[in-house]
Structure formats: structure tokens, C-alpha cells
Amino acid sequence: MVKRNKWVAGNWKMNLDYSSALELTNNLVANLPGLNGTSVTLCVPAVYLDALKPIVNKNGLIQLAAQNCHSEDKGAFTGEISAAMLKSMDINQVVLGHSERREYFHESNKFLSEKVSKVLSHGLTPIFCCGEPLSVREENKQNAFVTNQLEESIFHLSVEEVAKVVFAYEPIWAIGTGRTASAEQAQEMHEVIRHFFEQKYGAAVAEKLIILYGGSVNASNAATLFSMPDVDGGLVGGASLQANDFLQIISAAANS
């Protein structure tokens, strides 16, 4: 079995004012536990990216990610940001396909496929999200739903390209609801995803893919979730806004 280092990404969504963002980031940098190879990313509102860079650069152990970008490099897309802009700021990661972008902004699998290709063309790492709503889970159709998302958004990539993508499985019914998929449910879907990639790209590629779990990860359940063989860390929402909670989650990953 391939040894994969853990990865913890905190998704702030549209939260925190400027002073709170600075305070939280300084707190995390000052109190970061031993990482044992674990990667740590803060996915922050775009307006804070430049201000937070000098803080995380103090020790170089935390990366910054944008929460979204457009599929075009430039143009008449008021309010959007491009992968080219992020690259020019030395921001090297970006979240794509989060369920909230799909639901509220109607981003299709086709549009996301274009975004993924654009991000990779600039040498950035996409953190690509996939996951099913409650209605699909209740009908036990989650496997087909998630693999269809991946097929339509990712399977146009080459072997070399897909190896550069970080994936995050986020059951939509467990985001912000306090309802978390059990560790066994998370493992089951992560295993389905990894096997799906194995069929397309081969075992050598699939075994190395980083697949995060996102869905009400907190300080209490992180260690159990991260102990699952195919769960490589977490995309953390609300708990990433509290320094102590997020630091405990990072420690759980580093010690799993």
C-alpha cells in the first residue's frame, strides 16, 4: 500500500472580518503542532489572500488557497478572479466545485471541467469537490452520482494532470448540519472514488491520489475519520474558524 501524507484544508467560506482573519492566521502559525508531513491549507476569501501571505510565510508551513476562480484568464466577468491572477500573486491552490458553488451559482460539471484545465495550465493545484445531496443518499444512488461528477469534470485530464489534483468528497447533507457521515460511510465512498480512478488511470495513479473528507469535520471526530485507509485528511468548514479546534484537527491528521 502506498503511504500518503495527510492534508488538512480549512475553508473559511464567506466569514471573518479583516482583523479576525489576521488574528486567526497569526494564532495558527504561532501554535502549529508538529506536522509529520501533513499539508495545511487555508482557503480564504480572495480579498485576504495578499494580506495573509507574509503571516504564513513566517514558517512556510501553511499554504493559502483561493475559494474559486473563473475558467478564463481575463475578460468582462465583473467580480470574478482568474487562475492567472492567482498565479501572479504566488497563490498556488484553489478550491473548485464546492457544493455551494454548484448549488447557489449553478456551476455545471462541464464548466468545472474547463476550470480544472485552466487551473492546471497555470501550474496551480485544484482542490476539487464532489458529493451528493440527501435525496440521492436516501435513494442509495450516491456512488453513481459522485462518479458521474468526476467523469464529466475530471476524466478529460491526462494521467500527469489528474495526479496533480487533490479531491474532496463532501456529502452535501453533512455540511453545516452537524450531521456527519460515519467514518465507515466516508471510507466507503473514498474507496469507490479511488477504485473509479483506478479503472480509468490505473492503480499506480489511484493509490497516490489525495482524497479529503469534507462534511462537519471537527475536533471530536477528526481522528476517527482520518484513521480510515482511504481518507487522507479533511476539508474543514466551521471548525477551521476556531484556532483551537482547527489546531486539534491538524494534530489528529499529523498523528494518524
Task: Kindly state the DSSP code that residue 127 receives in the 8-state scheme.
Answer: E
| Assigned C-alpha cell, 241 | 474558524
Residue 190 annotated among the catalytic residues of the structure:
no
The one catalytic residue in 100, 107, 132, 170 is 170
Q: How far apart are the C-alpha atoms of 102 and 149, rounded to whole Å?
A: 11
The one catalytic residue in 70, 98, 100, 190 is 98
- Inter-residue contact 23 to 57 (CB < 8 Å): no
Contacts of 105 (CB under 8 A, 6+ apart): none
In one letter, which amino acid is 78? Answer: T
Residue 156 annotated among the catalytic residues of the structure:
no
CA end-to-end span of the chain, whole Å?
16
Q: How far apart are the C-alpha atoms of 97 and 196, rounded to whole Å?
A: 19
Active site residues: 98, 170
